[in-house]
A and B are shown apart, each in its own frame.
Chain A
């Protein structure tokens, strides 16, 4: 996330095409700065609802863990990518209010 922006991480701000995973995408965006600070770029997360369940070395490992733990229940397996800060940030960024005299 950019220090020059404030964000409102609200599932309703995502476009319709991403709504099926809106809760999981919000959890991912919320956790992304910490994951990147910890050097986990390129690894993959398993997210269930708004909970980041675990971090895996490969996407295949995350998918296997997701299938084992959640089966057909909704979950997301996502590679950690710093470019998503800007890409998803466009949806969540809040325009700063101008000061009034």
Chain B
């Protein structure tokens, strides 16, 4: 298994994410000779309490302006962010960037649904929820103040 290890900061266990167009769209763009938009980097909190991975609108804005289309609306329960409510869902490619900066070590979900939710007030731009964590092993070592995310 590949693993990412890090310190649990006062905000929690944080990792770097790279967000881009879903892989099927990238394939279509490549086949038609169109430009593929640059992925967007952001900081994400690993949140086992969140059902679904969420991204702040500012992270999605560059991809939206490049043609990222909305998929549907869903009901999201986010107790720390105003409770139950409708939000918009997008399908994107999501990469958890390994600290060694070797792309082959990254966690990659090529066609993954995420919810758009205002998060900046919490100090990070994304939440990694159980939809992603169900494919990983997460160890939160409180006494050592360290976390391990393995996949």
Chain A contacts to B: CB under 8 angstroms:
15, 17-18, 20-21, 25, 59, 63, 67, 70-79, 83, 87-88
Q: In the complex, what residues of B have CB within 8 A of residue A77's CB?
A: 71-72
> What is the predominant secondary structure among interface residues of chain B facing chain A?
mixed
> What is the predominant secondary structure among interface residues of chain A facing chain B?
helix
Known: A18-B88, A20-B88, A21-B88. A78 touches B73 (CB 8 A): yes
Query: Which A-chain residue is minimally distant from B90 (CB atoms)?
Result: A20
Given A75-B69, A76-B73, 4 other A-B contacts at CB below 8 A?
A17-B116, A21-B73, A25-B73, A77-B72
Q: How many residues of B contact A (CB 8 A)?
A: 20
Contact of A74 among B28, B70, B72 (CB under 8 A): B70
Contact of A20 among B24, B70, B85, B117 (CB under 8 A): B70
> Is there an interface contact between A72 and B71, defined as CB atoms closer than 8 Å?
no
